[in-house]
């Protein structure tokens, strides 16, 4: 099946494209884009992959769903387009960076600069219907993104996996913690951030690990 995606990722995930679940998923997604308002724009469905080639990944952050309101989602988890108001979870992410690293909170919620440095910003589900959170869950995306995480965990060494909330933590259950750094905490959502997201120091811990394993730290 012809899928437009960054070449290194395409090579690693080619076997997924031929599986029955992915063919069914593709048919479903095509109909959704034809008949409904779906985010992100179709050309940005695989933006996380296109922005961060397989061999350049250093940190993996796992989200759940794309944002489901107009103008927000552009294919990178927790990130929004320029000029869009910062979503509450991203506000809390920035607060933790400020507390952890002493960096001022940026005005922009666009996290492309992280992706360019090797932060793979992966949502478990890559599309969503407008105004309907979770509307594309259980259609096959989860199996596909599980495969992406599995390839990274098994074929790369000394990566940082940042798993916020129970959903992301389930996605990372099989990662070898002797081979990679796995950081877990509650989700940055206002509903849970005060239960242990604030003060998790995941950003400095990630950079310390990258430095210790010979990689350039991330400019968060």
Nearest to 38 by CA among 128, 146, 165: 128
Query: Percent of the chain scored above 90 by pLDDT?
Result: 98
> Any idea which residue has 């960076």 for tokens?
97
* Environment class of 183 (CB within 10 Å of its CB; exposed 0-12, middle 13-18, buried 19+): buried
| Predicted pLDDT of residue 2 | 67
Assess contact for 128 and 68: CB atoms under 8 A: yes
- Residue range 5-63, pLDDT digits in tens: 999 999 999 999 999 999 999 999 999 999 999 999 999 999 999 999 999 999 999 99
Q: What is the mean pLDDT of the chain?
A: 97
Once rounded to an integer, what is the mean pLDDT over residues 131-141? 97
Q: pLDDT band at 1, cuts 50/70/90?
A: low
In the set 65, 100, 146, 219, the catalytic residue is 65
pLDDT band at 3 (very low <50, low <70, confident <90, very high): confident
- Residue 196 in this model has a pLDDT that exceeds 70: yes
Residues β-bridged to residue 183:
162
Exposure string over 17-53, b if 16+ CB within 10 A, otherwise e: eeeeebeebeeebeebeeeeebbbeeebbbbbbbbbe
pLDDT mean over 90-103: 98
Bridging pattern class, strands 119-123 and 59-63: parallel
Residues 87-105 have a mean pLDDT of 97
pLDDT given for residue 170 in this prediction: 95
Helices (H), the chain: 7-17, 20-35, 47-51, 88-101, 112-116, 141-155, 165-171, 202-212
- Judged against a pLDDT cut of 80, whether residue 197 lies above it is answered with yes
Q: pLDDT class for 65, splitting at 50, 70, 90?
A: very high
End-to-end CA distance of the chain: 37
pLDDT at 38: 98
Query: Is residue 141 pLDDT above 70, yes or no?
Result: yes
- Say whether 219 is catalytic: no
């Amino acid at each position: 099946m012809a899928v437009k995606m960054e070449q290194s990722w395409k090579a690693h995930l080619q076997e997924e494209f031929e599986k029955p679940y992915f063919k069914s998923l593709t048919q479903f997604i095509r109909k959704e884009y034809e008949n409904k308002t779906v985010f992100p724009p179709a050309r940005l469905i695989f933006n996380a992959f296109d922005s961060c080639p397989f061999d350049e990944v250093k940190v993996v952050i796992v989200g759940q769903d794309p944002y489901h309101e107009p103008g927000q989602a552009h294919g990178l988890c927790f990130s929004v387009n320029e000029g869009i108001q910062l979503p509450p979870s991203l506000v809390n992410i920035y607060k933790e960076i400020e507390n952890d690293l002493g960096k001022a909170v940026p005005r922009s919620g666009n996290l492309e600069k992280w992706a360019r440095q090797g932060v793979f910003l992966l949502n478990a589900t890559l599309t969503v219907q407008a105004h309907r959170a979770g509307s594309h869950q259980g259609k096959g995306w989860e199996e596909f993104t599980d495969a992406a995480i599995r390839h990274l965990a098994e074929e790369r060494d000394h990566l940082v996996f940042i798993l916020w909330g129970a959903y992301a933590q389930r996605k990372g259950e099989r990662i070898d913690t002797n081979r990679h750094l796995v950081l877990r905490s509650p989700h940055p959502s206002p509903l849970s951030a005060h239960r242990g997201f604030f003060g998790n120091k995941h950003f400095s811990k990630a950079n310390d690990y990258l430095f210790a394993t010979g990689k350039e730290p991330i400019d968060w």
